[in-house]
Amino acid sequence: MSLEYTKERASELIANANSINTKVETLSNGNTRLVCVSKLKPSSDIQALYDAGYRHFGENYVQELIEKSKILPKDIQWHFIGGLQTNKAKDLAKNIDNLYAVETLDTEKKAKKLNDVRVTAEKPIINVYIQVNTSGEEQKSGVAPEDVETFAKFIIDNCPKLKLEGLMTIGSLAQSKDQEHENQDFKKLVDLKTSLDKLFTIDLKLSMGMSSDYQEAIRQGSTSVRVGSDIFGARPANNGH
């Protein structure tokens, strides 16, 4: 994988990212982080944005993330934002020292695997987000809202190499399209944060909002938004994943 990029491509990427980042900073008064979702995009695209000052990048596939992390700068803050299979958790925890966060944690088994591998390999602590299925859609991954408290307690009590940094959700398409009203999927996550903060005396972050709905997510309190296509352009339709 080459890290060389053309001046034209770099200019396009930087203009897109800066435009999004300006909106994010304006809406949030500088309190929300932009994660550039670079899945299925070449490492050279990431390098171009890195050279422009961006550090937080999101990837969906474990092997792709491992390969990119090997050749890209070591101070990139990688976010794993794809569905995590238990058998891939070991690879993720073992091979990426600068893994900033796993945002899609949804079972105790996966949490234990990430933690145990990180302990054995003597790697740094990973920030984790509990993925919550706020919309209740069967096809969506995530912990049911009523089970989040138990899962959070498990991570805090049993996983010293995991720091519970926040909660994450992918809102339903219907809620994202409704620009007239408050997004109820986001509201559920905000309410969960409020109760967990009080219960565990912590201050959880919220990762909610993507290209189509990040502005509404920020208005409702998101502290991290995941934007891909608005920065990098459309992805290939048939990618083999």
Write out pLDDT tens, residues 168-201.
999 777 666 666 678 999 999 999 999 999 999 9
CATH number, domain at 205? 3.20.20.10
Within a domain: 26: yes
For residue 240, is it within any domain?
A: no
Whether 241 shows a pLDDT value over 50: the answer reads no
Q: What would the pLDDT profile of 19-43 be if each residue is shown by its tens digit?
A: 999 999 999 999 999 999 999 999 9
Q: Which residue has the tokens 């005396």?
A: 201
**Separation between Cα atoms, residue 17 and residue 14, nearest integer Å:** 5
| Domain boundaries, position 172 | 7-232
What's the structural domain count of the chain?
Answer: 1
Tell me: pLDDT of 70 over 50: yes
113 within a domain of the structure (yes/no): yes
Side-chain-side CA neighbours of 80 within 13 Å: the count stands at: 31
The answer as to whether 157 is a domain residue is: yes
For residue 213, give the amino acid letter: D
CA distances from 83 to 3, 104, 208 (A): 27, 6, 15
**Residue % of the chain over a pLDDT of 90:** 88
pLDDT in tens, 41-58: 999 999 999 999 999 999
Q: Is residue 237 over pLDDT 70?
A: no
What 3 state SS string does the chain have?
A: CCCCCCHHHHHHHHHHHHHHHHHHHHHHCCCCEEEEECCCCCHHHHHHHHHCCCCEEEECCHHHHHHHHHHCCCCCEEEECCCCCHHHHHHHHHHCCCEEEEEEECCHHHHHHHHHHHHHCCCCCEEEEEEECCCCCCCCCCECHHHHHHHHHHHHHHCCCEEEEEEEECCCHHHHHCCCCCCHHHHHHHHHHHHHHHHHCCCCEEEECCCCCHHHHHHCCCCEEEECHHHHCCCCCCCCC
Please indicate, yes or no, if residue 237 is contained in any of the structural domains: no
Q: Over range 140-167, report the average pLDDT.
A: 97
Considering the chain, what percentage of its residues have pLDDT values greater than 70? 95
Length of the chain: 241
Q: Looking at the domain assignment, is residue 131 inside a domain?
A: yes
Asked whether residue 167 is domain-assigned, the answer is yes
238 in a domain, yes or no?
Answer: no
